[in-house]
Amino acid sequence: MIIYHGSNVVVEKPKILISERMLDFGCGFYTTSNREQAVRWAERVANRRDLKEQIISVYEFDLTTAVHELVIMKFDEPTENWLDFICANRSGRDHSKPYDIVIGPVANDMVYTVVQFYENGVYNKDDAIKRLKVEALYDQILFHTEKALTFCCFISSEQLGDVK
C-alpha cells in the first residue's frame, strides 16, 4: 500500500519522534494513505514553522505482512473507543504504547472542534460520534515503534508549491 508523509523536508529514513504537542494517536511517525491529507499536513508544517518548503515523502507500507508480525490497533470509523483513545492521547495519557502501529480516522480541524466540545461537556459521547460520522474523514497511520518502521520503505518525494 502507498502511504504519504507531509513535512517541510524529505524523510527518507523515518524516525519515531516524541512531540511536545499532544497528537491523536500518541508519539511516533505519522502517515496517511490519502495524498491530499499529506499535502495539508505539509502546508500546516510550513505555516507553523514559517517556511516555504512543502514536501510529500512517499512510502510502500507492507500492511499484509505487518498484520501478522506487529501489534496493530485499527479503528475503521469514529467509535466510542476511537474517541476515548484520541482524547486520552491528546490529554497526555499516551495509550498507544502497547501498539506498534495505530490506524484510524484523523481528527482534522472540524473533527477536532467536535472532540473539544465533547471534552468540555458540550456534547455527550453519542452526539460527538454522530457528528463525527458525517465528516469526510481521512486515515492516519502512526508508526509507534522502530520495529514498525521496518515495514515502511521510502520510494520518492515531491516538492510542493511555496507557502509564501
43 vs 90, higher pLDDT: 43
Mean pLDDT for the stretch of residues 35-50: 88
pLDDT at 133 over 70: no
pLDDT-based confidence at 94, cuts 50/70/90? low
Alpha helices (H) along the chain: 35-48, 63-69, 80-90, 109-119, 125-133, 146-149
Side chain identity at residue 115, one-letter code: V
Q: What percent of the chain has pLDDT over 90?
A: 46
Mean pLDDT for the stretch of residues 94-122: 79
Mean pLDDT for the stretch of residues 21-31: 84
pLDDT at 163: 46
Copy the grid coordinates of residue 65: 505482512
pLDDT at 150: 96
pLDDT at 61: 97
Average pLDDT, the chain: 86
- Give the angle 85-89-26 at the CA atoms, nearest 5°: 105
Q: What percent of the chain has pLDDT over 70?
A: 87
pLDDT at 164: 47
Stated pTM of the model: 0.83
